Amino acid sequence: MESGLGGIEPGLLNFIDVYNETVGLSVSDRPDTVYADCNDLSSIDIAISKLQDRIGKKGVLLAFDSLTAPYLFSGSEILRFIRQTLSRFAAKGNAVIVCIDEGCGKQEDLVAMMSQAHGIIKMEMEGDQRILNVIKHPEMEAAKIPFSGKGDATPIPYETKSDILIKYAEADRDVFRSMSGKLTARKKMGDWVNILWYQLVFWGGLQWDPVRFPSLLYNMTRDTIIQGFKYYLSYLPWYMRLLMPLFLPRKFSVKGIKKLYRQFGSMSGAKGEKHYACEYLDEISRDDEHHFRKREDAVSWGFPNVGGALCFHAVAEFAGVLSFFDRQGRDWDGVEYMCIGRGDPYCQLKITPKKFPEFQEFLGGFDVAKLEKINEHILGQILSLTLYGKTLPGRPTLGDELHFHEVQADTSRQAAFSERFQAVLRMAGANSGRKIATLLLDKGVKEAETTKRLIDLFQLTKAGELAVGETIRIEENCESYGLRLGQPSCFFTTGFLNGFFSATKNQHLKEVRCVADGSPYCEWEFR
């Protein structure tokens, strides 16, 4: 239609939706759409056959966008699905084009998938130019074809989301009072959540998009810090805003940063939330190159020597703080050059306004094998917790909990600015919920008993007080409690519950109430 080809003829486009039911979103009764569950390859097979019968002719193009989600749910079983379902569909006089994120799984699986394809085209970036790299094709030679399109590096328009930012900031005022010990926000569960639940959410999302997710979360975290400071300072009395420059260094020398860190260091999210313990390393820092040492970071704790730097999120926080307070208006970035994930005894960061080649490498994505190690460890800890009540060993000085505000900072807060991030969290939750349920069933836990284990998991991690009856209710859910967004915001939790109950009861759920939209609790109905 955009190209001037006129309207779309009835029956020209038909859809198989394997997303909405999987993550607990509403589906509409559409004559051109068949629904399936991304967890279940058989249901996708049935949906394809059903739609093919409805269309009733050959020469159909099946565009599978994308195979990443079914692969992450089903692993190497996807190879049989390609051989039996997609190849069978093509053999009946049709065509199939399949998209998949190259960094999402094992290299041997990707090679096996590609070996079954008649043609392979990679979508790549060369500098700022997007390229279609034709690797093989039955009717043309190998070639590189430039094309236009909206890139992933497009800045997130925070200015257009100022109403959301204001709502978060209003909720934060009460949360900051909670972190200072002046009040308890969550009366039943308390304000602290086991870092195991935080790691489940954080690393589950990374597994979903290991190549682009680090850059996405880094940029969103850095920009949220900058925009958040702008909002908070705008509420200060005029005379305090006038005097503020007197307390800021004119240049970011070592002496100036030491002063800034003393005054605003706790605002990086480390001190009050027990995310990590941090110190400024003035002995190795120099003007416009500043070093910080972190210990006991909730992101990397428990993952020694997995093969890489893990704390890009904390680097983004420091880069955001320095970017906001820099009187020269420079953009600061950084890298983590030591990390317990690399086998170091602690994590160490370098923040500078200068561009350096290590930065792109630092945010270049995660190796799948490393992510598998991390997520297998997390799932093993959860299984140990739900079956035997054994928790991850606590951090020496910060313990095994962090403030629920930090869970929100990396889930619902960021998702409010990005529909893509919402999708990542929903699918990560569905994937994690299904895997945990499957592990329990494989350990001999009866189907009826799995629900009790789920309730125990929420209680032991202090993620929320969960009750299961005709509906599911969670009071004081750490993902959304205290928010005032006017819409449901339990993205990970909704996906998690759907993944869990699809595996144990073959049922899906829809969130009908949320504390973020003014309800007293979060509630889901079975469908």
CATH number of domain containing 218: 3.30.1380
Phi, psi of 157 (to 5 degrees): -80, 80
pLDDT reading at 157 higher than 50 = no
Whether residues 237 and 353 share a domain: the answer is: yes
- Residue 207: pLDDT band (50, 70, 90) is confident
Query: For the whole model, what pTM was predicted?
Result: 0.85
More confident residue, 405 or 164: 405
273, 316, 446, 450, 489 from 268: Cα distances, Å? 10, 10, 45, 39, 24
Residue 499 lies in a domain: yes
pLDDT at residue number 477? 95
**Higher confidence at residue 150 or residue 58?**
58
Positive/negative CA dihedral, 310, 313, 317, 322: positive
Residues 500 and 467 in one domain: yes
Select from 289, 299, 381 the least CA-distant residue to 340: 299
What pLDDT score does 266 carry? 46
Contact 323, 332 (CB under 8 A): yes
**Residue of 197, 220, 224, 214 whose CA lies nearest to 359:** 214
Q: What is the mean pLDDT of residues 466-487?
A: 90
Average pLDDT in the 335-364 region?
88
Which of 100, 117, 134 is the last residue before a domain boundary? 117
Average pLDDT of the chain, as a whole number = 84
**Judgement on whether residues 61 and 74 belong to the same structural domain of the protein:** yes
Contacts 24+ apart (CB under 8 A), 120-128: 125/151
Decide if 8 is inside a domain: no
Same domain, 337 and 428: no
Query: Residue 350 sits in which domain range?
Result: 211-365
Lowest mean pLDDT among 51-60, 257-266, 357-366: 257-266
Domain closes at, from 72, 95, 117 = 117
User: Same domain, yes or no, for 440 and 469?
Assistant: yes
* Per-residue pLDDT at 158: 38
* Contact residues for 364 (Cβ-Cβ < 8 A; gap 6+): 211, 214
Q: What is the C-alpha separation between 485 and 433, in angstroms, rounded? A: 25
Pair (171, 245) in one structural domain: no
Q: Could you tell me if residue 129 is inside a domain?
A: no
One-letter amino acid of 278: C
How many CB atoms sit inside 10 A of residue 58's CB? 9
Q: What is the mean pLDDT of residues 137-166?
A: 62
- The pLDDT of residue 9 is 78
Q: Count structural domains, the chain.
A: 3
224 and 283 in a single domain? The answer is yes
Residue 159 or 461, more confident? 461
Residue 260 has pLDDT above 80, yes or no: no
Higher pLDDT, residue 365 or 214: 214
Q: Are residues 224 and 352 in the same domain?
A: yes
Residue that terminates a domain, selected from 94, 117, 140: 117
What was the pLDDT predicted at 154? 40
Mean pLDDT of 401-415: 82
Highest mean pLDDT: which range of 23-32, 62-71, 456-465: 456-465
Segment 357-362 shows an average pLDDT of 80
169 and 196 share one domain:
yes
User: pLDDT (tens digit, 9 = 90+) per residue, 268-303?
Assistant: 444 567 889 888 999 999 988 999 999 999 999 999
Residue 230 has pLDDT above 80, yes or no: no
Q: Three-class SS string for 159-190?
A: HHHHHHHHHHHHHHHHHHHHHCCCCCCCCCCC
Asked whether residue 328 falls in the same domain as residue 257, the answer is yes
pLDDT in tens, 377-391: 999 999 999 988 877
What pLDDT score does 85 carry? 93
pLDDT of 156: 38
Structure tokens at 400: 């095994």
- Given a cut of 60, is residue 519 above it in pLDDT? yes
Residue 265: predicted pLDDT:
57
Tell me if 345 sits within 8 A of 355, measured CB to CB.
Answer: no
